[in-house]
Amino acid sequence: MPPSSNPLFTRDRLPEGVTPATGTDPERFGAYRVVGRIGAGGMGAVYAGITDDGGTAAVKVVHSQFAADPEFRARFAREVGLVSRVRATCAPAFLGADTEAATPWMATEYVPGPTLRQHVKRNGPLTGGMLTAFAVGLAEALTAIHAAGVVHRDLKPGNVILSPDGPKVLDFGIARAADGTVLTATGGLHGTPGWVSPEQYEGADATGYSDMFAWGGMVALAATGRDPFGKGAVDGIIHRSRYEEPDLDGVPDHLSSLVRRSLSKDPDDRPRADEALTELTRGWSATRIIPAGTPPLDGVGATGTDALPTEIVPEILATEWTGISAPAVRRVRRPARTALLSGTAVVLVAVFIGGWLFVRSDEGPPPSNGEGSEEAGNGGGEGTSLLIESEPEDGTGVVEQAVDLVERAESFEAVHVTTGIPPADYSEVHRYTEDPEPRYSFSGYGGPMTLEWLEVGEDPVDTIYQVIPSYSTIEASEGYFRDSEYGRNLGERQGRNGFMADLVTLAEEGTELVYHGEQQVPAGDEPEIEGLDTDTSGRTGHHYSGTFVESGYLGPDDETEREVSFSLWVGDDGYPLRFERLAVNGEAEEIPEELRDPGDAPPVDAAGQKVFFLRFDEPVEIEVPDESEIEDRG
């Protein structure tokens, strides 16, 4: 990729949602030096890569266990071949690949910007020329994808980035060839409820007309700010998309007919992508007022019928696509060695080891070029169809879907309990709500103090803290306060889904899970927390178990490994109900001598954690203090 005078990222300055590379990440793929991680999924990871001359890329890499599988390697090579054939203004450019490398990889253009869902949440629906340009851009991308013999199969709000140059359709690399070859999975229904066409639920293969059903829904969402078949329980969304009319109130007249035809239950009544593109570009050209003396477009009059629709798309975007800028980059703070602490702070570090260092930083759902969730940059992942209903034995797929459902839940409450770490068990309460605005609250109980913090806003730049000591040696805060230095001393913030770290690990690493069928969820040992109903008795879920290896849990420079055994229960709605883990290794669990106080309890042989998922998408109240009640410490 040619260098840019204003690169999208560098080694030391990365966009929000891209985490810095660590010592465990690869150093290079071909011409691309790895400087950050964009996201990961069950099949592979996506890295931020930069060339020696400053070119940037999103580099998709296959996990090692799949790279050793000749069949999967062949499917990945076929995916690369399909992606390389797509040439579109509104699809990421293919930059290169090596499918014969020890670790196969593919590089595509890195696309900066929010997803459609994020933009609509923050700014409201698209209007006027921006909406027209959005509809045109999606149709142009699908036209090119279909012309290359590919069916997308998973067009959704998380797979479209609103970049400064126009909308960009991602993840057509995880689609399938028109000849029916599945590239990244086998069996089952692929797609996201609400965007999957009705005929697919009846067993029909996905086609270009299925993609156009999703196109109509996407344009409706962009125009109205509402999903065309609503939100809520998955089965309700599926029923409405199969049997009820879409909500198109607010779609402007010049788009409503085309959108309605695209959302027809009968695929034969839907337009092809190239037909929709022709209709849109002709409509735009017919209404444009061209000043006298304006030179023709590529030798063809811009408003004339001789211009190809694909030739008009760049002009539409240059004229109508405004107000979108690339996300700002931030200076990378690379982890320093753990400082030695003394006195009462030693006890606090012991609690952090038990409760927090297992948790990964999360500034939003992890984005990717093909796996993951919505985020600025090459994001994706609005959700998937429910394997828990059709293929519950696919434990990895079920976990991936459970993580995705939690990531996009409009509200939740969960309790995360850590046991076996001296001096006491430790509980964390996590609450989130999007109504009336995004709010996330964390409260940590046990050990030397209760620590609370609030994050307010879609992408908060600061956090409000409160400290309630258990011991007189720890200073209390008179109320909530802001202090950026205090937050840095705590380490990286957990974010709204910190309690999901282990499930994310299972999904990312493709951990094998053993399925035990439907069983009663263990109950009776939930922590008693004032003001919170933690009773989960009487619930039944699909039970899974397995093991994974965990390393580096005592600090950024720790290389200790231990085996973790786990059990997971997932409800019929795809949401997790309960997660338990037990790590057994006396030497690994022993807190390093320099971090121990002589009065601490002796080392333990095992440490456990349990997450009780209490509720999703139900009203959650999170009170935020008035600004006058918050002390600003800098």
Domains identified in the chain and CATH numbers: 13-110 (3.30.200.20), 116-320 (1.10.510.10), 340-378+394-621 (no CATH)
Which pLDDT band holds residue 557 (cuts at 50, 70, 90)?
Answer: low
User: Could you read off the pLDDT of 345-361 as tens digits, one per residue?
Assistant: 222 222 222 222 222 22
Q: Which residue type sits at 363?
A: E
The pLDDT value recorded for residue 327 is: 78
Active site residue 306: no
Instruction: Return the beta strands (E) in 54-157 as ranges.
Output: 56-62, 94-98, 105-108, 150-151
Distance CA 447, CA 27 (A): 40
User: Could you read off the pLDDT of 123-138 as tens digits, one per residue?
Assistant: 899 999 999 999 999 9
The pLDDT value recorded for residue 358 is: 21
The pLDDT value recorded for residue 30 is: 94
pLDDT(596) > 60? no
Instruction: Answer for the pair 379, 160: CB distance below 8 angstroms, yes or no.
Output: no
Which pLDDT band holds residue 458 (cuts at 50, 70, 90)?
Answer: low
Which pLDDT band holds residue 364 (cuts at 50, 70, 90)?
Answer: very low
Instruction: Answer for the pair 42, 507: CB distance below 8 angstroms, yes or no.
Output: yes
Instruction: Answer for the pair 540, 516: CB distance below 8 angstroms, yes or no.
Output: no
User: Could you read off the pLDDT of 499-552 as tens digits, one per residue?
Assistant: 888 888 888 777 889 999 998 888 767 777 777 788 877 788 999 998 888 765
DSSP character string of 52-78: TTS-EEEEEEE-HHHHT-HHHHHHHHH
Q: Which residues pair with 427 in a beta bridge?
A: 417, 445
Instruction: Tell me the average pLDDT of the chain.
Output: 75
Q: pTM higher than 0.85 for the full model?
A: no
pLDDT(621) > 90? no
Instruction: Return the beta strands (E) in 63-208 as ranges.
Output: 94-98, 105-108, 150-151, 160-163, 166-169, 176-177
User: Could you read off the pLDDT of 200-235 as tens digits, one per residue?
Assistant: 989 898 999 999 999 999 999 999 999 999 876 677
The pLDDT value recorded for residue 287 is: 77
The pLDDT value recorded for residue 306 is: 61
The pLDDT value recorded for residue 455 is: 77
Residue in 150, 313, 154 with CA at minimum distance from that of residue 218:
154
User: Could you read off the pLDDT of 44-85 as tens digits, one per residue?
Assistant: 778 999 998 889 999 988 877 778 888 888 888 888 888 899
State the burial class of residue 548 (Cβ atoms within 10 Å of its Cβ: 0-12, 13-18, 19+).
Answer: middle
Q: Report, as an integer, the average pLDDT of 276-294.
A: 76
pLDDT(474) > 60? no
pLDDT(395) > 80? yes
Name all contacts of 292-298 with Cβ < 8 Å and 24+ positions apart: none
Q: Report, as an integer, the average pLDDT of 267-279.
A: 97
Which of 129-143, 257-271, 471-485, 567-581 is predicted least confidently? Answer: 471-485
Q: Which residue type sits at 553?
A: Y
State the burial class of residue 257 (Cβ atoms within 10 Å of its Cβ: 0-12, 13-18, 19+).
Answer: exposed
The pLDDT value recorded for residue 509 is: 76
Instruction: Answer for the pair 219, 251: CB distance below 8 angstroms, yes or no.
Output: yes
Where would I find the H helices in 413-569?
A: 484-489, 501-509
SS3 228: coil
Which residue is it, tokens 């956090």?
Answer: 463
Pick the catalytic residue: 52, 53, 154, 573? 154
Q: Over pLDDT 90: what percentage of the chain?
A: 30
Which of 105-114, 237-246, 296-305 is predicted least confidently? Answer: 296-305
Tokens of 421: 């770490």
SS3 319: helix
Where would I find the H helices in 186-267?
A: 198-201, 208-224, 234-243, 253-262
The pLDDT value recorded for residue 425 is: 65
The pLDDT value recorded for residue 209 is: 97
The pLDDT value recorded for residue 43 is: 63
The pLDDT value recorded for residue 559 is: 61
Distance CA 187, CA 202 (A): 14
Backbone phi, then psi, for 503, in 5-degree steps? Answer: -65, -35
Q: Over pLDDT 70: what percentage of the chain?
A: 71
